[in-house]
Structure 1
Amino acid sequence: MAHSPFSPGVAAGRLDADAYQDNFSDLHPALDPHEALVAADRCYFCHDAPCITACPTDIDIPLFIRQIATGTPDAAAKTILTQNIMGGMCARVCPTETLCEEACVREMAEGKPVLIGQLQRYATDHLQAQDVHPFTRAAATGKTVAVVGAGPAGLSCAHRLAMLGHDVTVYDARSKAGGLNEYGIAAYKAPDGFAQAEVDWLLKIGGISVEYETALGADISLDGLRAQFDAVFLGMGLGGVNALAIDGGDRDGVLDAVDFIADLRQAKDVSALPVGRDVVVIGGGMTAVDAAVQSKLLGALNVTLAYRRGRDRMNASVFEQDLAASKGVRIMTHVAPVALHGNGSVREIEFEYMNDDMSGTGQTVRIAADQVLRAIGQTLEGDVLPALDGGKIAVNATGQTSVDGVWAGGDCAAGGDDLTVTAVAEGRDAAMDIHARLTA
């Protein structure tokens, strides 16, 4: 008999309406014009600025900040969007504290960097509010490209190709475009429907059609796309989730963190989402932190994030870890789950303490848990794919795969660091390589 995904202790409506409104409001409120000018004035406008090198999309950060400082935020936005067409979302979700802002000279000298991420948001939001698109299409080339996956990599690739005059068809397995930007990040990072608004704005370039609920393998094939189009870009992300292979791992109350976050992102009323009293999230990445923090914001009494290594080995940034702690999430390190206990539904989770070398100590601890969220990594789904490297599609520096005429980027491709900004860069660079091939 199929299990219910919920334990008896998992319930909705734990908080009052005002609390939900506050908890899921914007994590970083937008700068007003005066605040933006003050923040921009702190930039040294460095020559050979280290912040540019630290940006995966190579945005000319001193230039766009100077443009804000001189009262031309739309020009600043175009500087950003020329390199990163999803600069608005990246300004909200990119770990700037470990990238451009960590490299900022102000950070190194004073411990307080220029607010690069918030300034980027100020500029891109200002332009997007004008309801115009800053780029126009080149003359039609007559070439067609298929893009599989309407996430950051796929949309970035599609936009650049369309701008260069190619006709692009994007296929996505879901009913909305956006990929992880729409389904996979914390609601408080991009509230008020921003992900879809950015997609709608991006598509104004023209030359891009989107086919929804169309999955590679089930509805379309790679061979079929190669026969129909002049080039193919694969950016479908990772569809599978690693299993929790422990005793009792299939008990009621055990969910995938990505599904939990997706349900929350698509909910019209977050107060209707069930959450446990004692929630345990297993994992150490951004998804784990997002799931843990949002569990707390939904009203969970106790939330524990459990990771098998030390905090210095967590994929989630220090900022994200500190955010979780500030919201009341308990972070347990050097523990690995060994069993879930309960009569049908999970009631407790048992961990073994781990050494630094990942060997077990033999010592265990049990903690209460009526909801367990798995955030232990995702896997690539699909049988007929180009050659793989470590479970992902093998690519060269420009995204070419082992199959002629097929490129890949984003989370499904090997070598990246699973960041939105990196996926955008990989999609853009693959588009430029595709364009060079198609116009040679």
Structure 2
Amino acid sequence: MGHPDITGRRLGKDAYAKNFSDLHPPLSAHEALVESDRCYFCYDAPCQQACPTSIDIPLFIRQISAGNAKGAAETIFEQNILGGMCARVCPTETLCEEVCVREKAEGKPVKIGLLQRYATDTLMRANAQPFQRAPATGKKVAVVGAGPAGLACAHRLALHGHDVTIFEARKKPGGLNEYGIAAYKTVDGFAQEEVDFVLGIGGIDIEHGKALGKQIKLETLRKDYDAVFLGMGLQGVNALNTRHEESAGVEDAVDYIAELRQAKDLGKLPVGRQVLVIGGGMTAIDIAVQSKLLGAEDVTILYRRGADQMKASDFEQDLAQTKGVKIKHWVMPKKVIVKDGKAVGLECEYTEEKKGKLTGTGETFKLSADMIFKAIGQTFVADPMQDAIVLDGGRIKVDASRRTNLADVWAGGDCAAGGQDLTVAAVDDGRRAAEAIHLHLSA
């Protein structure tokens, strides 16, 4: 990966440790009690309605205020078995905390995400398993993908007494929680700690190195199992559709983040001095901030529309800029500038919106770079489906129960149509599908 001329070790070891420390340090027991007292415990709480997994937020905060953190965790896990990770990575500023009555009245919401983390960490660090499996049903379910959707589905199915086998293409389970989230959001190997917690229910096996369409086939899974859940996420990467985008020095942000997350020595990662990031979502922010934290001198995000249209939240945009990342709006790449086979910059064009349609203005400019990251989204690779699954907008078409057009196949997470591309939404998909599968198997 990376430019042959680009090396790492731009900073000292202590600087890497500091830069990639916990973005939001956890609350102490005293801080959690003080913060929980700020909650109004609203009837028909808007925070609960804004939560994709419908966690009873007023209840778990009341339990914390009563000194029952483990009980609060059980309330959370009942709806969201990955509540620990979601407390760390959920954009609470645009979900539960945005609609908090305290936010509306004072501009300072209850710290719901940090309270959720406090509760879930308390129970998980006590090695307590709050759930007990129902008697074995003798039914077998195949789950493709050990990401948030697959893990949530597997856990709920196991809870109901079904035996689950998860088929995972990578060496580690966790999906984007393990490979795709900024390292400063989930430190100390928490993703694997959470996987162990989920598997603690029993009845779940994971087979690694098994990718759909390669080592395993959908038709075979349908024959060998009573039901199938597809939660493999998005494997393809959108193209820039610009000249020379395959040149050395032009990297896929998702792949780089995955390598960073698995790196034992951050100083060995190649990082440019001048970095350009193309995109406007969470991945663009994550790769830009992490490039800066790795020692890049100049990092600029290029987005084709305005700040209000960026998928990244205001908090994330502010975070990037406080870390020294520049964001240029209303620009799009036209051509990768190449010298001796290597990318050395971008030719860009200013953009504008006319009658709701984005167009180039014809005015161009050039930016120097020794590393360029593509962060313009991923796509679903439908080839393994062999035309058996109906798609909608390039992703798997599902109904309200997350069932596909095949009676024994469900799907959820990023690979399913209509998703929000959020960890918490993927968890909700997995749980809903599991309940529907359970009804199907119990009929």
Q: How much does 1:245 deviate? A: 1.9
Which of 280, 290, 297 is the aligned partner of 1:294? 290
User: Is the Cα contact below 8 Å between 1:232 and 1:407 reproduced in 2?
Assistant: yes
Quote the residue 2:362 is aligned against: 362
In 2: Cα distance, 1:304 partner to 1:408 partner: 37
Quote the residue 1:350 is aligned against: 347
Quote the residue 1:432 is aligned against: 435
1:368 counterpart letter in structure 2: S
Which of 9, 15, 29 is the aligned partner of 1:13? 9
User: Is the Cα contact below 8 Å between 2:149 and 2:426 reproduced in 1?
Assistant: yes
In the alignment of these two chains, the number of paired residues is 436
User: Is the Cα contact below 8 Å between 2:212 and 2:384 reproduced in 1?
Assistant: no
Q: How much does 1:224 deviate? A: 0.4
In 2: Cα distance, 1:365 partner to 1:387 partner: 43
Matched, 1:40 2:36: yes
1:406 counterpart letter in structure 2: V
User: Is the Cα contact below 8 Å between 1:59 and 1:83 reproduced in 2?
Assistant: yes
Quote the residue 2:329 is aligned against: 333
Quote the residue 1:56 is aligned against: 52
- Change in Cα spacing, 1:370 to 1:111, as seen in structure 2 (3 Å) is same
2:414 counterpart letter in structure 1: D
2:435 counterpart letter in structure 1: M
TM-score normalised according to structure 1 size: 0.98
Q: Per-residue CA shift, 1:141-181, capped at 9, x if unaligned?
A: 11110000000000000000000000000001000000000
User: Is the Cα contact below 8 Å between 2:2 and 2:270 reproduced in 1?
Assistant: no
User: Is the Cα contact below 8 Å between 1:7 and 1:345 reproduced in 2?
Assistant: no
Which of 63, 68, 71 is the aligned partner of 2:64? 68
Quote the residue 1:117 is aligned against: 113
In 1: Cα distance, 2:296 partner to 2:2 partner: 17
User: Is the Cα contact below 8 Å between 1:7 and 1:371 reproduced in 2?
Assistant: no
Matched position secondary structure for 1:293: helix
TM-score normalised according to structure 2 size: 0.97
Q: How much does 1:269 deviate? A: 1.1
Q: How much does 1:404 deviate? A: 1.6
Where has structure 1 moved over 6 Å in runs of 4 or more? Answer: none
1:274 counterpart letter in structure 2: P
1:96 counterpart letter in structure 2: T
Matched, 1:393 2:380: no
Matched, 1:146 2:149: no
5 Å matches for 1:21-420?
A: 21-343=17-339, 344-356=341-353, 357-385=357-385, 386-420=389-423
In 1: Cα distance, 2:406 partner to 2:329 partner: 42
In 2: Cα distance, 1:437 partner to 1:127 partner: 32
1:93 counterpart letter in structure 2: V
Q: Per-residue CA shift, 1:110-129, capped at 9, x if unaligned?
A: 00000000000000000001
In 1: Cα distance, 2:206 partner to 2:146 partner: 8
Q: How much does 1:6 deviate? A: 1.1
Q: How much does 1:7 deviate? A: 5.0
CA RMSD of aligned residues (A): 0.8
User: Is the Cα contact below 8 Å between 2:154 and 2:434 reproduced in 1?
Assistant: yes
In 1: Cα distance, 2:94 partner to 2:382 partner: 33
Q: Per-residue CA shift, 1:200-247, capped at 9, x if unaligned?
A: 111000000000010000011110000000000000000111122211
In 2: Cα distance, 1:114 partner to 1:420 partner: 21
In 1: Cα distance, 2:254 partner to 2:61 partner: 35
2:430 counterpart letter in structure 1: G
